[in-house]
Amino acid sequence: MGYLLAFEVKTPNRHNDRICSIGLSRIENGHEVGCSGMLINPECSFEECNSHACGVTSDLVVGKPNFKQFWDKVGPLFLDADCVITQHADFDLGVLAKTLDAYGVPAFDLKYIDVFALSSYCFPALPKHQLEQVAKYLKIDLKPEDAASDAHACALIYCKALKMGLNLDYLISDYHYYGFKAASLAKPAHHYHEGDGSLESLIDLLADIIEDGVVDVDELMSLTTWMAVHADLCGQFPYNLIDKALEQVLEDNIIEPEELEWMYELFKTCVHPVESHHENRRLRFKDKQFCLSGEFKFGSTAKVEALIEALGGEIQPAVQESTDYVVVGALCHENESPAHYSDEVKAAIEWQMKGSEIRMICESDFIEALRAASKG
């Protein structure tokens, strides 16, 4: 192997299609041999939140080279490297690709290693795998808001992982840049670095992943990167649920087929927790535990509860492990964002993750079941 190039980019605004600072670190024979950082004039406006995050303001880049001038000089380092290494590959490579496209740079291919995936693979005991936490664990000095410091940390993490004797070839992926459609060959990049980092974006991402009916390893690794980039969502539903599931699956560094199937079912439930199924219309009432969520077109909650009890069912005020059915009112279900389901639906999903057979029923199926039971 010739050399590897660790890099980190900083962006001036939320569009993530320009670079205002970049850090580079060269690795040869398992050792860092040089590290540098450079300010770049992005030739666009800065936003305060980005300047706060990256430490670069518009006045600092006055007189600095633009990206085309930078790339003419440094671009060959990327193209000649055996592999590039970066903190969050889908984000950093996406920013690089969009910036290259803006300056009309021709297409090229890269091989890359994502440091988040590298850390998850080599240091599974860590509760989180963001660069700051991994650097602290490995006693690597890291300067906040410094692209060169980030690139340096990425390089040292790789070097330390290499010394562990693990086969890191498993972590090398292909990235093909061809204009706005720059992508990891494993999965279209727009699945992972578009969106505003909201809970709705996470739901959209999960929907993209399950669209073909399966979840693969590359999709899981890319999802872990997205989760790390948007760690500010930590503690919110369904981010916390997905984060915990990923941690369980990646704990032993071996992803089994049944774990992929389990993740698919979890993602599907998060995207479509309440679906209409013909089998839902055959639900049983006698001695079954029901919990109601939201408001019903059929009538008041008290009216729905009375009908359930008349057919031998029991009402629970909150979802429990013993709950059989969560019935979701149409007035709630139709107007609700998938990222903000009711407490009852969230609790039901969490119980399902633990192996419970709680079923969530939409109002229309429930009413048909009521009518069938009344006739029976």
User: Distance between CA 366 and CA 213 in Å, rounded?
Assistant: 27
Domain count of the fold of the chain: 3
Per-residue pLDDT, averaged over 137-156, amounts to 91
Residue 282 and residue 253 in one domain: no
Which of 216, 238, 271 represents a domain boundary (last residue)?
A: 271
Domain that holds residue 56: 4-190
Q: Which residue has the higher pLDDT, 4 or 227?
A: 4
Please tell me the predicted confidence (pLDDT) of residue 180: 45
Which of 190, 210, 225 represents a domain boundary (last residue)?
A: 190
Residue 182 and residue 205 in one domain: no
Per-residue pLDDT, averaged over 340-344, amounts to 76
Q: How confident is the model at residue 25 (pLDDT cuts 50, 70, 90)?
A: very high
Residue 287 and residue 247 in one domain: no
Residue 56 and residue 203 in one domain: no
Which of 271, 303, 328 represents a domain boundary (last residue)?
A: 271
- pLDDT of 217 above 60: yes
Please tell me the predicted confidence (pLDDT) of residue 36: 94
CATH code where residue 41 lies: 3.30.420.10
Please tell me the predicted confidence (pLDDT) of residue 197: 57
Q: How confident is the model at residue 323 (pLDDT cuts 50, 70, 90)?
A: very high
Residue 124 and residue 26 in one domain: yes
CATH code where residue 369 lies: 3.40.50.10190
H or E element: which one contains 220?
A: helix 217-229
Q: What are the C-alpha distances in Å from 361 to residues 18, 54, 281, 301, 322? A: 47, 47, 9, 15, 16
Residue 247 and residue 352 in one domain: no
Per-residue pLDDT, averaged over 68-85, amounts to 93
Residue 172 and residue 252 in one domain: no
